Structures are given as C-alpha cells and as structure tokens.
Amino acid sequence: MERAVILIDILKKYFDRLPIRAENRRIINLPNAITLLRIGILPVLFLILLEPGEAMSLAISILFILAALTDLLDGYVARRYNIVTRMGKLLDPIADKIIMSAALVLLIPVGRAPAWVVALMVMRDFAVDGLRSMAAAEGHVIEASQLGKYKTFCQIIAVSALIIHYPIYGIDPGSIGTMFLYVALALSLW
C-alpha cells in the first residue's frame, strides 16, 4: 500500500507541472488522466473481445474489472489530494456510461447478452444522465443512490462473467453473468 501512495504522489507531481488550467485548477490532473486512460483502453478491450480463445477472454475480463476499478481510484485520488475539478465531475460519469454501454452492446453480437435487456439498461442510464444534466443546469445535484451503486456492481460482475464464455472448474460464468445481468436490469427499473 505504501508503494501505491508513493506512486500516486510521483504521478501527482508530474501532472501538477502541466500548464493547462481552468478555474485555477489543472484540467489534466492525475484523476482526469486516470479517467481518460479508462476511456483509452476501451478500444483495446473490445477489439479483442471477439477473440474466441479461453485465455484471451479471461484476460479481457480481468482488464474490464481493472478498468472498472480505476473508477474508484480516480475518485479516491481526486478527493484525497483535493484536486476535484468540474472536468472530472463531468468526465467520470461519462466514462462510466461509455465503458458499460459499449461492453453490454458488444456482448450482443457474440450471443452473450439479450439485446432487449441491453437496450433497456442503456436507454435508462442515458435517460437518467440526461435528467441529471438538466437538474445540474438548474443548480441541483442528483447523486447516485445506493440502489444505483448496487446496479453498477451487478453490471460489472455480469459483463466480467459474460466475457468469459467457457466453464472454469465446472462453474459456468455465463450463467452467473446472465443472473447478474437480470438483477442489474431489475435494479435499473426499480
């Protein structure tokens, strides 16, 4: 853990030297760079999603989980070092929706997620984000509910398991992923 804190301090010092500023804060600070990295690995993640190999699908699933975990990391770093920016507040939820929506949509053509479930989840997420944006324009903040956080957790488990399309030690991740996908759908529509 100590090494991670040292690494974060080193990276923060690097990003503090960047000249780009807005609102007396850097646009490209460490948390925003982490968020941009999360978006940047998306094409790599999904270009190899169609790879049928067992080892590759396991690697993609792990990469997806790591991408999801960077969402926690960028928020932690922003709050810990008091470098929260409007750009970060805007970019982070957009990155979350792009990654999750793209993952769900790309599971459809390979037969691992029903199109109607994905359509409902994606439309609901964008509708909620649209309402949040309208509220924000009026000066109101609608924070994510605990139910929404459970939904996101279920989506991450679902996508991670659905990417792996072969049994591991007699366990079928596809069935587990499908179950979590339906739980996430129920939480989305609750």
pLDDT in tens, 18-34: 544 444 455 678 888 88
Q: Which residue is listed with tokens 């979590």? A: 180
Whole-number pLDDT of residue 20: 46
Taking 60 as the threshold, does the pLDDT of residue 137 lie above it?
yes
Give me 84's structure tokens. Answer: 């929260």
pLDDT in tens, 84-106: 887 888 788 888 888 899 999 98
Confidence band (pLDDT; 50, 70, 90) for 9? low
Q: Which residue is listed with tokens 């609608």? A: 142
More confident residue, 79 or 25: 79
In angstroms, the CA 121 to CA 26 distance is: 34
Task: Give CATH for domain 2-189.
Answer: 1.20.120.1760
Taking 80 as the threshold, does the pLDDT of residue 161 lie above it?
yes
Whole-number pLDDT of residue 174: 93
Give which of 12, 58, 44 is closest to 163, Cα–Cα: 58
pLDDT above 70: percentage of residues in the chain: 83
If you average pLDDT over every residue of the chain, what do you get? 83
Spell out the domain ranges in the chain: 2-189
pLDDT in tens, 117-128: 999 999 998 898
pLDDT above 90: percentage of residues in the chain: 29
Q: Are 117 and 111 in contact (CB under 8 A)?
A: no
Taking 70 as the threshold, does the pLDDT of residue 59 lie above it?
yes
